[in-house]
Chain A
């Protein structure tokens, strides 16, 4: 491996291209998975370059490699920046070169002022003493540049997400940014804020700042991007030149969608024959407000139903409100100002607390089993009975032997691979942990199971087992809702699919009529 002193000019193979960035044959492995396989990305100087792909396709990993979050040496392949090979050991190295990444989760300190946030870690100080005049004056200049009409002394926590996004960009500008990476910048923004942000990015392009945008909103990308690279399953599919004559514009979005989903549904899904019965669950006109940002609607008038023996899929991209919908139904575990009516077996039910929801016969298997599903420091037995302790309690005492028997029953029926149910859950593999969560909820005896990303972080073999369990449960007459951002999974499992986009149900498709292209179109449908 050649070593090169950072900053030294280098006689280059190839020409003095106008490409600001070339990532060549990047391969990144994590224990057990290959996140990126031989990915290449070329970004021209002064362009807006979009990266598209499904959740988990590898977009964020690629950006982490670029910005040095994944340091040089942990991946294979090379990165050429402004014609020179670079090896970033950390974010500081990439920022020194003018590469700044703005993450989806904004990294601002809510209690500090706009100016303080902008210069955080880069304080305008003489001999360690901060000059507030200079800080605020410079911040005011930057705010004018990004078009944010706020005083520099306003605490960031008082701003909406859109304005916070602008503060992040102002902060990037102080670092003499030449390549700005934005991870889903408009996911949480309303249309006006999105339009302003995209306008700003265009303005920066005219000043010579190159941008990389990761986004699910294909309409926006078609409007703003000069080129789009599509990534699927850790590989580059193609880079599309978006600067086409106006009459060809309409072909761009379908082409991106095809690239994003264009894999075949492998024979990953067990055969099943649905025997669909009576309606079990129905919800009408369900509205959910954001828990902390007053006035922001996360779920907007959702209505859906599930029948006995039926698997209903909910497809939506990140930020569409899938989990928020499910958790708000499950005992108002998310959001506020929730309104709407839920019915079990045709009768309206009150689902104000989790225990009410469990009593009504609803079980919710969370997408994040470590944070919301399991007590990792306890054994399998305790976790399995955690949501239905009263079933093993007689006369006030928990019968430990009965608990073990129950846990053993699920261990063998769901094939949890562990020598004993007294094993600590934190030490099991992802697939086995997921089976423990499933056991917990099956033991509550639900009529409706809501499974949120049931195979996230689960290897392929265990995936098949979990799919089989889902089919068996449906065959036993349960109603099942599967939430997933993986389209093949939704299509392979479901009898019927609802698509969710920006909190609204944008379509309902029978599984046999569904195509990935059609679903993706519905999932990326923006509010008109």
Chain B
């Protein structure tokens, strides 16, 4: 499943773009470009791995500034800007790489995507670190839930009954610990899983609990009402695209580390997988609706499908058809659902 991590990372940024009512077609090319920049820095010039990472992230931010400028300040639809970006950044990738693949990356760089945290704190075939980290997460989750419950009570909000509350926490704890146990007695904790989990948590909070996040939803729901409520729509759009560039760079690093090379054709069609993940995860085509965890679930559904079909030996052409149909059905369901709720109102 971890081989789809870069799609999930892209889907996190993409769902926010889609909620705001835009689209980004360039992320596949940006994945390639940022991976290429990292490769040139690390492999070509022999710099340390972390300089490559920083260079890639910096490139992602520059790409975001470029696209954000056209969308937010010139007012060109994101579809056009990022379609142009798709071509521009693909071309730049080829130029940066001189049209040849660069490989291999040093061990440390590969570690980002393929590494496991194992044996840091010892353990007898069962990685203690993984288990301790999971246990800590479970405790933090329970404490957070408890504090949320207390806050709700303070504001006289309804809460679930105590037994139900503890049951829910116990269920979460059981699932997390079971998963951790599996990891601990196989290869340990994958680095990229930590990265992904951190991104999901951070962006979940940003989208749901910050002013920036709320403004994205406000703009997607009703742009004019948002403007008349004092939302600085240009700045929000700019930030959105810078963020997308940054996340594309993260995905580019993870992808290049995983494939242990930078290729001119890397990341082809990634944008479509990321967009599909967001829509399958419940984002609305018209904007204003969609959640980060929804996009992750959508991405996982796509990943499970691809994996399952590959294991069953279904060939690529059929897989493509099935994925297309799933996307179409998911969005059709969303549209149908909305129509029904509107006529019911």
Contacts and interface: CB of A to CB of B under 8 A. Distances in A.
Interface in A410-453: 426-427, 440
B210 interface: yes
Contact of A398 (B214, B222, B231): B214
B229 A387 contact: yes
A372 B154 CA distance: 35
A204 B169 CA distance: 81
A401 B152 contact: yes
Given A378-B217, A427-B345, A371 B224 contact: yes
Given A375-B218, A378-B217, A387 B209 contact: no
Contacts of A382: 214, 217-218
Contacts of B222: 371, 374-376
B265 interface: no
A373 interface: yes
B300 interface: no
B87 interface: no
Contact of B214 (A354, A389, A396, A404): A389
A124 interface: no
A374 B229 CA distance: 9
A397 B210 contact: yes
Contacts of A459: none
Interface string B203-217: 001001111001101
A378 B221 contact: yes
A390 B225 contact: no
A373 B289 contact: no
Nearest to A357: B230
Contacts of B215: 389
A377 B157 contact: no
A378 B151 contact: no
A473 B308 CA distance: 64
Given A401-B155, A426-B345, A355 B228 contact: no
B57 to A, nearest CB: 22
Given A401-B155, A402-B155, A378 B232 contact: no
Contact of B228 (A372, A377, A378, A402): A372
A435 to B, nearest CB: 16
Contacts of B345: 426-427
Nearest to B158: A420
B288 interface: yes
A405 B228 CA distance: 24
B339 to A, nearest CB: 13
A397 to B, nearest CB: 5
A397 B157 CA distance: 19
Given A400-B209, A401-B154, A427-B345, A354 B221 contact: no
A377 B288 contact: yes
B226 interface: yes
B227 interface: yes
Contact of B151 (A353, A366, A372, A401): A401
Given A375-B222, A376-B222, A389 B211 contact: yes
A404 B156 CA distance: 10
B157 to A, nearest CB: 6
A405 B218 CA distance: 20
A354 B211 CA distance: 16
Interface string B281-296: 0001000110000000
Interface string A338-355: 000000000000000111
A330 B230 CA distance: 10
Interface string B147-176: 000011011010000000000000000000
A358 interface: yes
A104 interface: no
Interface in B306-345: 342, 345
Contact of B226 (A358, A375, A376): A375
A333 interface: yes
A401 B157 contact: yes
A170 B157 CA distance: 65
Nearest to A405: B155
Contact of A396 (B208, B210, B225, B229): B210
A390 B211 contact: yes
Nearest to B153: A401
Contacts of B152: 401
A354 B289 contact: no
A374 B225 contact: yes
A159 B324 CA distance: 47
A390 B225 CA distance: 18
A396 B210 CA distance: 6
Contacts of B210: 393, 396-398
A398 B209 contact: yes
Contact of A373 (B208, B225, B342): B225
A72 interface: no
Given A375-B221, A377-B221, A386 B229 contact: yes
Nearest to B222: A375
A440 B221 contact: no
A389 B211 CA distance: 6
A364 interface: yes
24 contacts: A333-B227, A353-B232, A355-B232, A366-B228, A372-B228, A373-B228, A375-B226, A375-B288, A376-B222, A377-B288, A378-B221, A382-B217, A382-B218, A386-B225, A386-B226, A389-B214, A389-B215, A390-B211, A393-B210, A397-B210, A398-B208, A402-B155, A404-B155, A405-B155
Pick the 5 closest A-B CB pairs, nearest first: A375-B221, A401-B155, A387-B229, A355-B230, A427-B345
Given A353-B232, A378-B288, 7 more contacts: A371-B222, A373-B225, A377-B289, A389-B211, A397-B205, A397-B210, A404-B155
